[in-house]
Amino acid sequence: MNESIRTFIAVAIPEAVKREVLAAQDRLRKQVGAEKKVRWSPPEQLHLTLRFLGNVPAGEIESLIAQVQQSAAEAEPFELQVSGVGCFPSFANPRVIWAGIHGDLPRLIELQKQIETRTAEVGEPPEKRDYKPHLTLGRVKAESLAELRHIGLTTREYKIPASSSWRVEEVEIIRSDLSPSGSTYTTLSHVRLG
């Protein structure tokens, strides 16, 4: 049986920026208060996903890396910053709590589009929705309307301070292994931009 590898392509968040985001996440967690109602993202899961591929046959990983290298070669490094919070699909029905990404978004979006186009035949089909760059801070487990309303309202009123900006100079191809205690990530390849 051929092994398949659960894979995604992402921009890593530098440790200094991650510390700022985690401090903001912790303050929001205390304000939301519903500890069992939100599964908060641990530090190792904070990254900016460019494309989720799902299960990729192990034999296709080298080809995938080459496709990402082609996309990255055409992209210049750029600056990003974490700022603002929101909820998917909405504050009224929060299922995912996220932190926004700002900075040189045209370059980020162009890189994401190139990667998506070049890897369209690999793994899951590309998303139909427009790409919305974000960091997932937490996944909402609450079910009752009152709890959802509280989480959404608290998140909407929360003012996350803008993080330091950082220079994106590479993307990573990451393996995700699922377990009852959560996902474990292993970087398969670092791909430089430009």
pLDDT digits (tens, 9 = 90+) for 13-38: 999 999 999 999 999 999 988 677 99
* Tokens coding 82: 């974490």
Mean pLDDT of 130-148: 92
Cβ neighbours, 10 Å, residue 25? 22
pLDDT, tens digit (0-9, with 9 covering 90-100), for 54-104: 999 999 999 999 999 999 999 999 999 999 999 999 999 999 999 999 999
Say whether 102 is catalytic: no
Mean pLDDT of 129-147: 92
Q: Is 130 exposed, middle or buried (0-12, 13-18, 19+ CB in 10 A)?
A: exposed
| Catalytic residue (one of 47, 102, 150, 190) | 47
| Catalytic residue (one of 102, 134, 150, 190) | 134
Q: CATH top-level class for 4-192? A: alpha beta
Q: Cis before residue 133, ω within 30 degrees of 0?
A: no
Cβ neighbours, 10 Å, residue 51? 25
Across the strands, what pairs with 190?
Answer: 172
Q: Are 194 and 77 in contact (CB under 8 A)?
A: yes
Say whether 134 is catalytic: yes
Cβ neighbours, 10 Å, residue 100? 16
pLDDT, tens digit (0-9, with 9 covering 90-100), for 114-132: 999 999 888 888 888 889 9
Question: From CA 179, how far away is CA 21, in angstroms rounded?
Answer: 25
Q: Does position 6 have pLDDT exceeding 90, yes or no?
A: yes
Would you state the pLDDT for residue 1?
52
Q: Which residue has the higher pLDDT, 49 or 35?
A: 49
Across the strands, what pairs with 12?
Answer: 47
Would you state the pLDDT for residue 33?
82
Rounded to 10 degrees, the C-alpha dihedral 124/125/128/131 comes to 60
Q: What is the pTM of this model?
A: 0.90
C-alpha closest to that of 127 among 45, 47, 50, 13: 50
Would you state the pLDDT for residue 174?
96
